[in-house]
């Protein structure tokens, strides 16, 4: 799923989790694949949940905090998770 460039905190506040800044609270909006949606829901990452990127990892991945757990997610998966930035 191609994404247009997003600048969080500027004109648009919706974009892929891969583009989200560290330390900002984000709300999961949607995911782009049923299998991925199901697996993320099993982990508690579903639309409406607030997450925070807390660390970059090698290869473009990120560590996210859901409030109850932390997960390391690869870059490809991050590009398939749409989030809203809390302004």
- pLDDT tens for 25-67 read 999 999 988 889 999 999 999 999 999 999 999 899 999 999 9
Q: What's the CA gap between 3 and 26, in Å, rounded? A: 18
Question: Could you tell me if residue 66 is inside a domain?
Answer: yes
Which residue is listed with tokens 């970059």? 56
Q: What is the pTM of this model?
A: 0.81
From 26, 11, 25, select the one nearest 84 (Cα to Cα): 26
Question: Could you tell me if residue 4 is inside a domain?
Answer: no
From 86, 85, 87, 82, select the one nearest 4 (Cα to Cα): 82
The mean pLDDT value of the chain amounts to 87
Would you state the pLDDT for residue 86?
A: 75
Q: Express the helix, strand and coil content of the chain in percent, nearest 5 each.
A: 20, 35, 45
Question: Could you tell me if residue 80 is inside a domain?
Answer: yes
**CATH number of the domain encompassing residue 21:** 2.30.30.90
Residue range(s) defining the domain that contains residue 47: 14-85
């Amino acid at each position: 799923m191609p994404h247009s460039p997003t600048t969080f905190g500027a004109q648009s506040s919706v974009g892929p989790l891969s583009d989200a800044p560290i330390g900002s609270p984000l709300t999961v909006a949607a995911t782009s694949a049923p299998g991925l949606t199901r697996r993320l829901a099993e982990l508690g990452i579903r639309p409406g949940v607030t997450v925070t990127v807390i660390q970059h990892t090698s290869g473009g991945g990120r560590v996210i905090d859901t409030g109850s757990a932390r997960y390391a997610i690869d870059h490809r998966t991050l590009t398939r998770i749409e989030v809203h930035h809390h302004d």
